[in-house]
Amino acid sequence: MSGLFSLSRLGRYCAPMLVAGVLSAGNVNNSVANELSDQNLSLDLVLTVVKENDFRLKQLHEESKAFLADSEAASYLPDPTVFAALQSLPTDTFDFDQEPMTQLRVGVRQMFPKGDVLDIKSDISVIQSDAQSIASKLRWLERKQQSEHAWLEAWYSQKRLALLEEDQVFLGQVQEFVRSLYEVGAKDQSDLIGADLELIKLNEKRIEEKRKYQIFRQQLNTLANQELVGSELSPILPDLTQLDFENVKQSELRNYLLQHPKIELLNQKIVLADRKVDLVNQDFEPAWSLEVSYGLRGGENMDGSDRPDFFSAGVNVQIPLFSNNKQQQNQYAASQRSRVSQIKRDEALSQMRFEVDNLIQQYRNTQEQRRLYEINILPTLERQRKSALQSYESDKGNFNLVMNLFLKEQSAKTMRQRLRVNEQKLISSLNYLLGLDSTHAKNGAQ
Residue 94: per-residue pLDDT: 83
Range of the domain at 403: 2-77+113-285+320-443
The answer to whether position 303 is within a domain reads no
Q: Which whole-number Å values give the CA distances from 430 to 156, 262, 360, 437, in the listed order?
A: 20, 14, 8, 11
Global pTM? 0.79
- The number of distinct structural domains making up the chain is 1
Write out the H or E segment, with its range, that includes residue 111: strand 103-112
Look at residue 25 and tell me whether its pLDDT is greater than 50: no
Residue 91 lies in a domain: no
270 in a domain, yes or no? yes
pLDDT tens per residue, range 276-335: 888 888 888 888 899 999 988 888 888 878 889 889 999 988 877 766 677 778 778 888
Which CATH number covers residue 387? 1.20.1600.10
Radius of gyration of the CA atoms of the chain, in A: 40
Indicate if the pLDDT at residue 102 is higher than 80: yes
What DSSP designation does 308 have? P
Q: What is the C-alpha to C-alpha distance for residues 265 and 60, in angstroms, rounded to an integer?
A: 13
Bridge partners of residue 290, in order along the sequence: 110, 315
> How do residues 417-443 score in pLDDT, each as one tens digit?
999 999 999 999 999 999 998 765 566
More confident residue, 161 or 92: 161
CB neighbourhood size of 234 (10 A): 22
Q: Indicate whether 291 belongs to any domain.
A: no
- Give the residue among 288, 290, 292 at the shortest CA–CA distance from 317: 288
| Dist CA 196 CA 406 (whole Å) | 17
Determine the distance from the C-alpha atom of residue 258 to the mean position of all C-alpha atoms in its chain, rounded to a whole number: 18
* Local confidence band at 388 (pLDDT 50, 70, 90 cut-offs): confident
Interatomic CA distance for residues 100 and 301, integer angstroms? 8
Look at residue 404 and tell me if it is in a domain.
Answer: yes
Flag whether 264 is in a domain: yes
Residue 393 lies in a domain: yes
DSSP string, 148-198: HHHHHHHHHHHHHHHHHHHHHHHHHHHHHHHHHHHHTTSS-HHHHHHHHHH
Domain assignment present for residue 73? The answer is yes
